[in-house]
Amino acid sequence: MSKVATKERDISVDCVKGLAITAVVFGHLCFSLPSIPERNIYLSVILSSLWHVPVFFCIAGFFIKDEKLLHPWEFILKKVKTLYLKTILFVGGAVLLHNLLIRMGFYSTQVDYYGKAMFFYSTKDMLLTLIKTIFLMGREPITGPLWFAHVLFLALCGYSLLSYLLSKLSQQDQTKMFAIRGVTLLAMTILSNILTQNFGITQNRLSNVFPAMLLIYIGQFFNERRKMKYDSPLIAFVCLLLFVSAALRSGGISLNNNQFYDLFHLICGGGAATYLLLFCIKKVKFRCLKRGLAFLGNYSFAMMGLHFFWFKLCMIIWDSLFGASFDVAALLPGIGKNYMAGIFFLLFSCIIPAILGLVIDKFFLKKISSFRSFYK
């Protein structure tokens, strides 16, 4: 493959990441969008909740090579130095700012944040929360979307360990081993789904690791095993039909809570959507648009970790300018039908965190190659 083709492929992937992180921010704004409930048609599902996070997991598998995957200790150590430490820095920083955020009115002691009550941390509370954060057990509401980074880290580590163990247990050629890996992940994902859907058994940071591993596998299958070019109109049309079918049949996917209807639902929200988005991006001729999306995709981690904070700043700015009554202590703004405010929130909460990501990369991480290689 030529250097030009390789560059185009890379920017296309970054563009899809840019679309996905924009969809995440869009979904958290809580617009009131047109829908036809009696026909199970929800525009928010198509624009956001069915595919935004599954696509990220698929893309995580795009450039994984088996020769590195089958050396789990080296593979995991690299993820510790990059993804894990970066996540701890973001979440740990938010924990250290916890009391200040309450004083600023960004948290309220009268609000329940998805099961987490707010109170001022003592030194002991702060230390205990930081220790929990180190072990991926703690969380801070303002960096809530970084649950994704926790699960991604565990899924990548688990994917490497599973691949290594299967290679030791069964001395098959690479093609057969890849198929065995897929069947194993399908079985693990089905079991996880049954436990959640039928018995209400869901363990955070564990139950959703298995579907995440399956999506990583799909991404590796697409890009590394099949070397797909994402240029077939027929495949794209089939993916579109599958995607729409999944949207009408099963609605959105919430991997944070391990909520998806079945394997068809998950695979369509991940695999079919990924192929369809890449096909569409490759047809876009506007370079400025593609570069803008690629920029957002390059710094999607910063956007994921910071957009709740910028929501709150947007509320303050909008209230001061137009006298609206957003509740700054609320985790999500609840835009509803205030579409002008929604557009302002969306632009501000995408562009500013991405620029901050660029600044962090340029001035703080540039000389630390192990960080920089994964920050994008």
Q: Tell me the DSSP string of 345-358.
A: HHHHHHHHHHHHHH
Give the global pTM: 0.92
Region at 105 (left for phi over 0; alpha for psi -120 to 50; beta for the rest): left
User: CB of 179 within 8 A of CB of 126?
Assistant: no
pLDDT of 116 reads 80
User: CB of 339 within 8 A of CB of 31?
Assistant: yes
pLDDT of 205 reads 80
Q: How far apart are CA 349 and CA 355, in angstroms?
A: 10
End-to-end CA distance of the chain: 23
Residue 31: beta bridge partners?
336
Amino acid, res. 109: T
Tell me the per-residue pLDDT of 55-73, one tens digit each, with 9 for 90 and over: 999 999 998 999 999 999 9
pLDDT of 338 reads 92
pLDDT of 324 reads 75
> From the CA atom positions of the chain, what is the Rg in Å?
21
Residue 144: name the closest of 178, 176, 181, 107 by CA. 107
**Token pair of 98 as six digits:** 């916890």
Residues of the chain with pLDDT under 70: 1-10, 38-40, 364-376
Q: What 3-state DSSP class applies to 36?
A: strand
pLDDT of 82 reads 87
Sign of the alpha-carbon dihedral angle for 10, 12, 15, 21: negative
